[in-house]
Amino acid sequence: MESMMKISDVNHHTIKTNGIQIHVAEKKGQGPFVLLLHGFPETWFSWHHQIHHLASHGYHVVAPDLRGHGDSDSPPSPSSYTMFHIVADLIGLLDHFNQQQVFVVGHDWGATAAWHLSLFRPDRVKGLVVLGVPFFPRDPHIKPLQFFKQLFGDDLYICQFQEAGRAERAFAKYDYLTVIKKFLLINNIGVPIAPAGMEFIDHLETPSHLPPWITEDELQIYADKFQKSGFTGGLNYYRAMDLTWELLAPWQGSKITVPTKLIVGDKDIGYESFSKPYIEGNVIKTLVPDIESVILDGHHFIHQEKPQKVSDEIISFIQKLAVN
């Protein structure tokens, strides 16, 4: 109920940027501008805790529905979902608000978008906080999909999501609320690979009860939005990975130069199955020289599971940069 009351306290706008309409949620303080970027399968609402916490500390907070999600436009072609498209949407959004340089916070695909915004336009980013997804260098010799297939096989969720319509048909066997529960409450499955002959969504368990950090009403908010938009827009981010790789060739070897804080849950399936040695090692620091990493007790959707802790980490990072 508290979440529902807070929703009514957020302003909503539709902004034209990069040829499409983007919905944004805004809560305006007088302090620095903070841009919050969600992942899949989410909308701006995934940040509702941080929106109110940051705004209560005086920050001007904006959380868009990224293209393909929520009340924003969903171009039909996967080729419209490269990181170049997403970053272009965000630059238009910043221009709309007349913001030359901002703090950016991203989770999941929003983290990937935040990394690329910082890579392409470091002049527009004061500081970067990323949740769950580290910056991975572009391998000039192998495309992402081929890399994942070689490492994990064809039934890795990313690989299953490639074929147009396949995941959508698999998801359609369930109601929207069940699909959201399966993803947002994912827990202890190891590497996210379906058994041979099984769709990934069928492999995910449907929780018998909810954890204390989320309510049925909050999950229903996501379900209602995806019932309206469908899942294709979000899935197209996976389907555009190889095209983004091709277009990134001019940035081969480039580093992230903006100050960065990486926050990861120690039970995040990506961290446990793939990125832990990379995050804890020294290689990432050669690619993101000004980075600090924070490992929290939690899972992939850490900003919802541990909202106060994540909000505090964001604010402490911004305040540190302000002092410096």
Phi/psi at 288 (5° precision): -130, 80
Q: What's the CA gap between 51 and 44, in Å, rounded?
A: 10
Catalytic residue among 49, 69, 107, 300: 300
Catalytic residue among 155, 238, 268, 299: 238
Catalytic residue among 65, 108, 155, 268: 108
Q: Are 163 and 24 in contact (CB under 8 A)?
A: no
Q: Please name which of 270, 261, 262, 259 lies closest in space to residue 299, comparing C-alpha atoms.
A: 270
Residue 108 annotated to the active site: yes
Residue 73 annotated to the active site: no
Q: DSSP alpha helices (H): ranges in 198-298?
A: 200-203, 216-229, 232-239, 241-247, 269-270, 276-280, 283-287
Residues 6+ apart with CB under 8 A from 54: 27, 29, 34, 61, 311, 314, 315
Residue 238 annotated to the active site: yes
Q: What's the CA gap between 184 and 72, in Å, rounded?
A: 21
* Lookup result for tokens 């992939």: 300
Q: Are 239 and 163 in contact (CB under 8 A)?
A: no
DSSP string, 272-295: IIIIHHHHHSSHHHHHSSSEEEEE
Q: What's the CA gap between 75 and 80, in Å, rounded?
A: 7
Active site residues: 108, 238, 300
